[in-house]
Every structure is written in C-alpha cells, then in structure tokens.
Amino acid sequence: MPRKKRIAILTAGGDCPGLNAVIRAVVRTAENVHGWETWGIRNGMEGFLEPRDEGIWRLTRQEVSGIVARGGTILGASNRCDIFAVPRKDGTTRDESDRVVKALKRNRIEALITVGGDGTHQMAQRLIEKGIKIVGVPKTIDNDIRGTDRTFGFDTAIGVVGEAIGRLYTTAQSHHRVMLVEVMGRDTGWIALHGGLAGGAEAILIPEIPYDPDRLAHKIRARVEYGKRFSVVVVSEGARRPQGAMVYREGESDRLGGVSFRVAEELRRRTVLEVRHIVLGHTQRGGVPSPYDRILASRLGQQAVQLIADGAFGKMVALRGERMSSWPIAKVAQGPRRVPPRGPLVAQAREIGASFAAADGSDDAYADARARHGAP
C-alpha cells in the first residue's frame, strides 16, 4: 500500500482559548477527507530541539477526542523560542532553523501547520524561505493579526472583560469609586474597545488614541455633577499619552503591564473620588473557549488542511466577513492590525457616551452634543 501523507501541527506563542479545537479539526479533517496522518510538535518550536525527535509524535483520533471545549493546548506552547536565535549559556544565540528542516525530512513530514500570532508567522516566513511547506493559522486573543477579520480566543477574552466590568460596576456604584480595569492587547486596543462596549464602560483608553488625563478627569467630574459618583474605565495595557512611552512590567523589557497604576495616580491628583485599579491579566487567556471561538477555531483548522490539499503553501487561513479565505504569511509578518481611530466602532462608542479622553480633541464634538442635552 502507498505510504500515507504526513502533516504536522504546532501551537506557538501564548496559550489561547480554542487551540485544542484547531488541533482536533486538523486531525479529523486530514484523516476523514484525505486519509493523512497528523503529527504534533511539542511546545511550539521547542519541540524541534528535543533529542531523538522526542518532541514529535503521532496524533490520533483518540488523542483529540473530546478536546473541542478544553482550554489550553494538548501540544503545549512557548512564546520564548525563536528558532533562529536560540540562547547559549554564554549569552550569545545560535541559529537552529536547520534542525527544523532535518527533523521534518527525517520524519517524512511533508507540510507544517503553524498556529500562532505575529512572532510565529515571522518565523514561519523565514522557514518558508528555507524550503519548508507551511500553512498558517491565526491565533491571538488580541485580534490584531493582519489579513483576518477575527481570531479565535478574542470572543472568549471580551467575555471575560465584560463579565469583570459587570461585577466591578456594582462595587463602584456602592462605594462611589472610579474603577480602572486593565486589559491585554499589546499595542492594539481591540480587547479594550469591545470589552468596554460590552461592559458599558464610561471611558476606554486604547493605544491608537493617545489619552489626556485632564480630559479623562473632566469626564469623571462631569458624571459627578450629573449625580453619577462612580465610573468604570477600561485601560488597554498599551495605552499611552501623546509622545509618551508605554508601560512595561517591572524588570521586563518586552511585556506590557501596569499602565492602570499610572492612570490611577493621574486621576487621584485630579478628582475627589476614590480610585481603584485591577489588572485582569491572564484570566483573559485561560479557561473554556466560548462556543463562537470553538466554531471559528474548528473552521480554521479544517481550512488549513484544505490549503495543504490545494498546494497553497505560504498562506495563512483567514476569515473575511463570514467566508474562509487566505492571506500571504509574508504580509502577516509586516505588523499588527490596529483599531482605526476614526472607524465606525469608535464613533458608535462615542455616540453611546463612552469617552476615549482623546488628547487630539476628537471626543469633543460628541461631548458637546451630550452637554447640550444635559448628559455627562
């Protein structure tokens, strides 16, 4: 009998709700439709560095049974492994990308599915240039991958944010406080914007619209004058003032976090209300994926196998509207997809009454209209 075609899949970068649904869809589609074998790579690119190919093993239907609703990834993930710059003990780095080429050839794996974000696709593009046949699947809760309208994990994340705001609203109202909710998103504000709208936040600070603390304080004081002695503000971890630097975690140069501490201090100096802040952190990435994310992840996994069958290598599966499409991985690696500051969702949020405390004054027309009608 002819040898079965072998494909492989890895999940790189941070964990994300829906990864297991992708893995399951790839394994089942490859077997059901094409009669192919699927092999898994353990812990992202790190699996290629394990001795004797111990990081590469066969994925069967039994191993993926019942995992569609499970959080995390059965393959493991790593957001610290750059296969082109693996650290040495002396502090230097070495290029181990040839080990990827050799491991795939040694195990007779003909195509690789890389599930990840910007960093993963940047590595994937370089591996494509070394002759590896790769199809990408977009993965991030930040929803900021170029070429696709939606990434799985995002819906789950904004659900967490919306629920958290709902819980904080009652304590803010009871104690007449300003509650700052810091959310993930790196240098894009998709989670903050959607989560803030879902939770009914009074203000939303995102990286794409630099904020002015005086304008934010004015919004809060106007609410006090209107009789609302509390406010909830969603702060994206990449929020910044004009020409201001983003805030990174103490002792770390590549991980954003802690901007809500700075915004809290700015508000304490400008208002009479008590200000509290909470960092949602990794709660946004963990847990059971929402039904929408399970469906989207399953569709992306199925389509990734189809691209391999079509010979469409060097492409990433993409959702454009409600239709599955593809996008060149080389273009994905060019940078993130940002929130349009003057896009329809920002405009709609302003008309509902949310402020972005925009330093450029782009909130002013909406604020003036509200003021004419006696609203804060």
Domain shared by 166 and 219, yes or no:
yes
User: Which of 168, 198, 204, 191 has its CA nearest to residue 281?
Assistant: 191
53 and 139 inside one domain: yes
Question: Any idea what the CATH number is for the domain that residue 70 is in?
Answer: 3.40.50.450
Residue 251, classed as helix, strand or coil, is coil
Residue 145, in any domain of the structure = yes
Is 113 in the same domain as 192? no
Q: What is the pLDDT of residues 220-242, one digit of tens each?
A: 999 998 889 999 999 999 999 99
Residue 130 and residue 279 in one domain: no
Same domain for 345 and 198?
A: yes
Same domain, 173 and 277: yes
pLDDT tens digit sequence for 335-359: 899 999 999 999 999 999 999 999 9
Res 195 pLDDT > 60: yes
At residue 343, the pLDDT reads: 94
Per the listing, tokens 């094409």 go with 34
Host domain of residue 39? 6-152+289-332
Q: Which residues are catalytic?
A: 142
CA of 113: how far to CAs of 12, 95, 142, 312, in Å? 11, 21, 21, 12
Domains in the chain, number: 2
pTM: 0.92
Domain-embedded: residue 1:
no
- What pLDDT, on the 0 to 100 scale, is given for residue 2? 62
Q: Please check whether residues 201 and 178 belong to one and the same domain.
A: yes
Q: Are 238 and 308 part of one and the same domain?
A: no
In a domain, 356, yes or no: yes
Whether the predicted pLDDT of 60 surpasses 80 = yes
CATH code of the domain containing 231? 3.40.50.460
pLDDT (tens digit per residue) in 25-58: 999 999 999 999 999 999 999 999 999 999 999 9
